Structure 1
Amino acid sequence: MSAGTPPVQLPAGQQTITVKLINPVNFGPAILKRFMGPDVPGLETFKDSPSFSFLLEHPSGRKLVFDLGIRKDYMNHSPKIANYLPTTNYTIDVSKNVAEILEEGGVKPGEIEGVIWRGRELVEVDCTGERSLTIGGFQAYDYFGDGSFYLLDSPGHAVGHLCGLARTTSSPDTFVLLGGDVCHYAGILRPSVHLPVPDTITPHPCHPMGTGSLCPGHAWEELQKSRGREATDTLYDMTFGADIPLATRTVGKLQELDCLENVLVIIAHDSTVRDRAPHFPESLNDWKEKGLGEKVRWAFLRDLEVYWKSKGLHA
């Protein structure tokens, strides 16, 4: 399968920022039909999912935390969230909150720029004013003004939802895209007309430590056709969000970046990234050199284990 790559020009720059992944919480089991469809035979729930945060360390000494996920005392969320969580029947495992993890790693709480605006000046990000630019289909904001970290206007899941784009190396440029809740599963993002399912996936998604490969080919096309979908359609459509049509259009913009070999897209609840990527205090900046993109891009296909077995493609 093949398709053309969209002409997305990423901004040039020399300044990088250090990105470190933090996973303070796992939750589940999640019933898939609450979030995505159409159904896949043999796949009804996810056992557990992470909720990522990221520590961003700028060369100036400034430190940011992007995306805080579920708080440790989650019943002290806003009433709407606190009342919703029990209806999910999740087991929520928050052994430590982000601040505790950072402190154990040698980062003092006072070194992190505050996300609570009580006693602070609240400045709204303007993706159309000074420091604004366009990245692919996104209106963007150059947070530090030096090209190291951009905020991307990515509404749909929630009003004002933002993604982050961090430059992890320069000459050549590589980036980590912090997707947040732009979608809840890699199978809502992939495949696409820009990034079709490859003929061969190595290692096999169901056996990441082995030497075997998965050749999805006709089996993938058959699965999609049985669900009224094309081979280059995503595995799932989104069914959860404040504005699902808008969120779906936002995912379409993200797909134009996701197909680029120098961009690693990490959405907040991707368990394959949790299981294969280095966590804080290690950084993600050498992700491309270490081949992390290849390891996680199609790893979500492990969730089709029952289907691959039925087609004799699991071994």
Structure 2
Amino acid sequence: MRKDWQNLAPAHGLNALVENGTIENLEVKDHVANILETNGVDLNDVEGVIWSHWHFDHTGDPSTFPSSTKLIVGPGFSEVFTPGYPADKNGHCLESDFAGRELQEIDFSGSDVTIGRFKAFDYFRDGSFYILDAPGHTIGHINALARTNASPNPGFIHLGGDSVHHAAEIRPSEYLPLPESIEPSPVPKLHSNACPGHIFAPVLKDGSKTEHILEWQDPWAEFVEPKFGLIYNEKDLRETVRKDEELDANRDIFTFIAHDWSLKGVVDEFPKSLNGWKNKGWKETTRWLYLRDFQAAVV
């Protein structure tokens, strides 16, 4: 997210949400580019900035990067969001986001690569980084899969963006059922070490241990066009969620959701590396921690 969020395009609506109190205490301490430079990254070495989608909390300020850094977006972005504001007074993105730099819109139609059931684009053509077609939340929403460990013990980080907003939207699943015993306990005040899975029965969907608990809804659906809302295509979104579930259950893939607060305090943050996630057991440690958000229903 950009530090000077007040300078976003007026049509984006963030300023209005802050003014009417819908969003409170919004503070961004620094631009992503400055954070990278402070930690020794030469911005001239950054080939591209990838937007999972166009929402304000996922874009930052590409203009703070050299013009040699391309901006990479998902299918359909250019048609809807270019030109940007102020060239288009109703534009939801800023013209400065992509002015003077290459805007690369990923085309999955020419790729026969798949990751699970996701259409994929092998960015470096060496299997180290894939961009995944993950439509539904917004026009052109994309996920990514980054290799952290090579064979014989391969590991990948799945960057899920906003394809889901809470881990309860992908867990439990038919691929990852709620276990009989959960360790570490997501409710340590009630069960200090392991806790029985059945105590979460009140929050399970129809009592199912194989169906995710939450479904994302768009609270603004009646006020804005779908292409500018929180669910652009509900059918595509539900299908993307199912694909997310498959990757999430893979022992060699660690899923990161942009708004998953259950990871905080367990997983190392930049500038530390994520490459040791398998040996550190982060996937197993964090898998069910999100259930603490439902402890009021079981305590």
What is the TM-score of this pair, normalised by structure 1?
Answer: 0.70
Q: Deviations over 1:6-26 (max 9, x none)?
A: xxxxxxxxxxxxxxxxxxxxx
1:259/1:212 CA distance change after superposition, 3 Å:
same
Alignment of 1:45-84 (within 5 A): 70-81=1-12, 82-83=14-15
Would you say the 8 A contact 1:238–1:248 is kept in 2?
A: no
How far is the alpha carbon of 1:97 from its aligned partner? 2.2
- Structure (1 or 2) with the greater strand fraction: 1
How far is the alpha carbon of 1:111 from its aligned partner? 2.4
Match of 1:249 among 239, 258, 263: 239
How far is the alpha carbon of 1:170 from its aligned partner? 1.1
Q: How far apart, in 2, do the equivalents of 1:228 and 1:84 lie? A: 38
SS in 1 for 2:121: strand
How far is the alpha carbon of 1:286 from its aligned partner? 0.9
Q: How far apart, in 1, do the equivalents of 2:251 and 2:36 lie? A: 30
Instruction: Give the residue type in structure 2 aligned to 1:230.
Output: S
CA RMSD, Structure 1 to Structure 2 (Å): 2.0
SS in 2 for 1:165: strand
Would you say the 8 A contact 1:220–1:231 is kept in 2?
A: no
Q: Does 1:111 align with 2:101?
A: no
Instruction: Give the residue type in structure 2 aligned to 1:76.
Output: N
Q: Does 1:265 align with 2:282?
A: no
Partner residue of 2:93? none
Partner residue of 1:186? 167
Q: How far apart, in 2, do the equivalents of 1:156 and 1:120 lie? A: 27
- Structure (1 or 2) with the greater helix fraction: 2
Q: Does 1:151 align with 2:83?
A: no
The alignment covers a number of residue pairs equal to: 235
Partner residue of 2:53? none
Alignment of 1:35-54 (within 5 A): none
Alignment of 1:115-194 (within 5 A): 115=71, 116-129=97-110, 132-171=112-151, 172-194=153-175
Partner residue of 2:63? none
1:125/1:108 CA distance change after superposition, 3 Å:
same
SS in 2 for 1:293: helix
Which stretches in structure 2 are left out of the alignment for 5+ residues?
A: 48-68, 72-96, 219-230
Would you say the 8 A contact 1:174–1:263 is kept in 2?
A: yes
Partner residue of 2:181? 200
1:146/1:85 CA distance change after superposition, 3 Å:
farther
Structure ranking higher on relative contact order (CA contacts 8 Å, 6+ apart): 1
Would you say the 8 A contact 1:150–1:165 is kept in 2?
A: yes
Instruction: Give the residue type in structure 2 aligned to 1:148.
Output: S
How far is the alpha carbon of 1:287 from its aligned partner? 0.3
Partner residue of 2:284? 294
How far is the alpha carbon of 1:83 from its aligned partner? 4.3
SS in 2 for 1:301: helix
1:80/1:185 CA distance change after superposition, 3 Å:
farther
Instruction: Give the residue type in structure 1 aligned to 2:5.
Output: Y
Match of 1:93 among 9, 16, 27: 27
Q: How far apart, in 2, do the equivalents of 1:283 and 1:139 lie? A: 27
Q: How far apart, in 1, do the equivalents of 2:248 and 2:168 lie? A: 12
Instruction: Give the residue type in structure 2 aligned to 1:248.
Output: R
Would you say the 8 A contact 1:202–1:211 is kept in 2?
A: no
Q: How far apart, in 1, do the equivalents of 2:201 and 2:187 lie? A: 19
Which stretches in structure 1 are left out of the alignment for 5+ residues?
A: 1-69, 310-315
SS in 2 for 1:276: coil
Q: Deviations over 1:86-120 (max 9, x none)?
A: 25233223122211211111113322232343222
